[in-house]
Amino acid sequence: MAVATQDTAIRTGRFARALIYLVLLLFVLFYMLPLYVMLVNSVKPLSEITGGGMMALPQVWTLEPWAKAWSTAQIGVQPTGLRPYFWNSISMVVPAVAISTVLGALNGYVLTKWRFRGDTILFGLMLFACFIPFQIVLIPMAAVLGFLGLSGSTAGLVLVHVVYGVGFSTLYFRNYYAVFPTELVRAAQIDGAGFFQIFWRILVPSSGPIAVVCIIWQFTNIWNDFLFGASFASGDGAPMTVALNNLVQSSTGVKEYNVHFAGAILAALPTLLVYIVAGRYFVRGLMAGSVKG
Amino acid sequence: MGFLNIDNVTKSYGSVEVLHRVDIAVEEGEFLVLVGPSGCGKSTLLNMIAGLEDITTGEISIKGQVMNGVHPSKRNIAMVFQSYALYPNMTVGQNITFGLEMHGVAKPERDKAMADVARLLQIEQLLDRKPGQLSGGQRQRVAMGRALVRDPDVFLFDEPLSNLDAKLRVDMRTEIKKLHQKLGTTIVYVTHDQIEAMTLSTRIAVMNGGYVQQLGTPKEIYDTPANIFVASFMGSPSMNLIPATIVDKDGAAHAEITDASGNAKHLRFSGGGLSGQDGRGIILGVRPESITDMEGADRKSTNIETITNTVGVTEPAGSDTFVTSQMSGRECIARMRADAEVRPGATIEFAVNMDKALVFDPQTEERVV
């Protein structure tokens, strides 16, 4: 992308530059501190933590807490570790992200290229979904899930997240497709392509950047969600976030801080991974269409 | 009944009628250009032929089949868009054959058709590239290739050259004309550029304000424009429109105008059509090339009138020199030879070719003679 290679920085003096770097460095340290504490304490025995060495590097290095958090820690009734709940989360996140992204893309396509009377009002109402607080819908949603026979199931959670996610994904794709040349759609119509052929063959292949944005956004939100997970999933079907909470809150006896830290990092890993793999497209996608070129 | 028939067609958005009762019959192999300023309805009309916009009332038919409500892909038409509208994710080859693929043509036939078109347009070496890697002129060729490969009944061009730079535009104009002469296809072409309209077309429809102002061959449009709009829109620099009064003198009708100093001058009309209308106010229309210096005057003309006048500004344009002067208070442009010796402020004799002069009614703006 041409924008990234352009030298748009403002020229500053050497002293000012040093000051800026110093301040930036301080902020980096500040932001990285919690991660440091978590990492360091997850690889030391519990005795070193309770002995007051919270900030120190471990004297004895061990991966024991990680293994325990993953496979043997007491969560709820069974000593299963976080592993089954991790897969619960995966089997909830993947379909929820996929469905809400595809639906958002289709909505964006219809709202920009197959305009109809009242489409802007409809879009406004869909945008409204982005601003409804989670707590308000808990009880009606529980009723709906009960009515559909999905309460307590992963499928029910997927439905909840898709419904909540469609507002955002529609917003992303609508704005992206709004600047997509309509002449291309018209050319494809004359070429004989139908509604879905135009979508799959012309629009989707050009939607890479915004799809990445949408997927990162949806993945992070759904993976990190606690409220819906705690409300609509029960027992063995709970997602990772709920399991982590159970691990940290409900342990009887000694609080195994090193295991808790390891568990917390495990719970955060997938979103971290998504950012590292797809993050550079994130800003690119958000900027798409704002700069001509 | 023409090959492409536009019969009494109107277009309204809500209660606003943007296109009023258009009637055009296009014969097979004709090159019809729709020309007019922006907002005149020319692109709307083209989109209605393509099926991208609904027809409010009236009928459009191709080869005798009514096309109202027929899907664009079922009309056997092809369109070249102003932005070329090449699919950015497909190679040139895929772009060209996409339409055939959508119409269920088998792969070997598609490849053969693509090869033929690529050879015709000399884009064989570009087939594996993406549109983003092509120059403007190459994209233009690919867009035409995509239209040609379908072998349609009617080609529609929507300002295809307006995104090219000036030199390339002239080259591509010639290419399109060559292609039309070679293939003999029926073309409807929209442009706001009157030179494109003149050079390419076999017939022109000049449009303004949702009305077809005049439909005719380029020569008819240029030499005998129906009204003041057509007269001033077609031709560059545009026609001089000089307020004048008809005066009977020596048994013939003259146009009385004033020179830069306000003195009355008389120019005798060539035909006899205006006799007996002494005192009638008119607009005299004279093209720049009909006002010259004495040496540059048309020798075939039967009636060269001279008028002594003061030169305003001279604009040497290389092949010609444009000279302005005041006539009846209007700035008039004369087209002189490149090496005509004319200085600003000098008083010289202008030769007006009255054979080519036109007369318009100031009220109705229609042409009288």
Q: State the complex-level ipTM.
A: 0.76
Residue A8: predicted pLDDT = 60
Q: Do B98 and A181 make contact, defined as CB atoms within 8 angstroms?
A: no
Interface residues on B facing A, Cβ-Cβ cutoff 8 A: 50-52, 71-73, 77-79, 81-83, 85, 87-89, 98-99, 102-103, 146
Predicted structure pTM score: 0.77
Average pLDDT over residues A243-263: 79
- Could you give the CA distance from residue B233 to residue B213 in angstroms, rounded to a whole number? 11
- Could you give the CA distance from residue B100 to residue B92 in angstroms, rounded to a whole number? 14
What are the backbone dihedrals phi and psi of residue A225, each rounded to the nearest 5 degrees, phi first? -60, 135
Q: Degrees (nearest 5) of the Cα angle B12, B17, B20?
A: 105
For residue B81, list chain A residues with Cβ-Cβ distance below 8 A: 183, 186-187
Q: Are B9 and B48 in contact (CB under 8 A)?
A: yes
Q: Which of B81, B100, B154 to mutate to test the interface with A (most CBs of A within 10 A)?
A: B81
Average pLDDT over residues A259-276: 86
Domains of chain B: 4-233 (3.40.50.300), 240-360 (2.40.50.140)
Q: Do A189 and B81 make contact, defined as CB atoms within 8 angstroms?
A: no
Average pLDDT over residues B227-252: 90
Q: Do A187 and B82 make contact, defined as CB atoms within 8 angstroms?
A: no
Right CATH for A83-287 from 1.10.3720.10, 3.90.1200.10, 3.30.2130.10, 3.40.50.1000: 1.10.3720.10
Band of the pLDDT at A194, cuts 50, 70, 90?
confident
Residue A257: predicted pLDDT = 82
Residues forming a β-bridge with B154: B77, B186
Q: Are B217 and B234 in contact (CB under 8 A)?
A: no
Q: Which of A190, A193, A206 sits opposite B79 (nearest CB)?
A: A190
For residue B102, list chain A residues with Cβ-Cβ distance below 8 A: 188, 191-193, 197
Q: What digits encode the pLDDT tens for the residues B123-171?
A: 888 888 888 888 888 888 898 888 888 888 899 999 888 888 888 888 8
DSSP chain A: -HHHHS--PPP--HHHHHHHHHHHHHHHHHHHHHHHHHHHHHTS-HHHHHTT-SSSPPSS---HHHHIIIII--BTTB---SHHHHHHHHHHHHHHHHHHHHHHHHHHHHHHHS--TTHHHHHHHHHHGGGS-HHHHHHHHHHHHHHHT-TBSHHHHHHHHHHHHHHHHHHHHHHHHHTS-HHHHHHHHHHT--HHHHIIIIIGGG-HHHHHHHHHHHHHHHHH--HHHHHHB-GGG--HHHHHHHHHHH--SS--HHHHHHHHHHHHHHHHHHHHHHHHHHHHHHHTTTS--
Q: Are B365 and B269 in contact (CB under 8 A)?
A: no
| A190 → chain B, closest CA residue | B73
Q: Which of B73, B85, B99 sits opposite A183 (nearest CB)?
A: B85
What are the backbone dihedrals phi and psi of residue B348, each rounded to the nearest 5 degrees, phi first? -130, 175
Q: Give the domain ranges of chain A.
A: 11-70, 83-287
For residue A183, list chain B residues with Cβ-Cβ distance below 8 A: 81-83, 85
What share of chain B in percent tops pLDDT 70?
100
Average pLDDT over residues B65-77: 87
Q: Provide the mean pLDDT of chain A.
A: 83
Average pLDDT over residues A16-37: 91
Residue A273: predicted pLDDT = 86
Q: Do B102 and A202 make contact, defined as CB atoms within 8 angstroms?
A: no
Q: Which of B52, B103, B146 sits opposite A192 (nearest CB)?
A: B103
pLDDT at B221 over 90: yes
Q: Which of B71, B72, B89 sits opposite A205 (nearest CB)?
A: B89
Q: Are B361 and B294 in contact (CB under 8 A)?
A: no
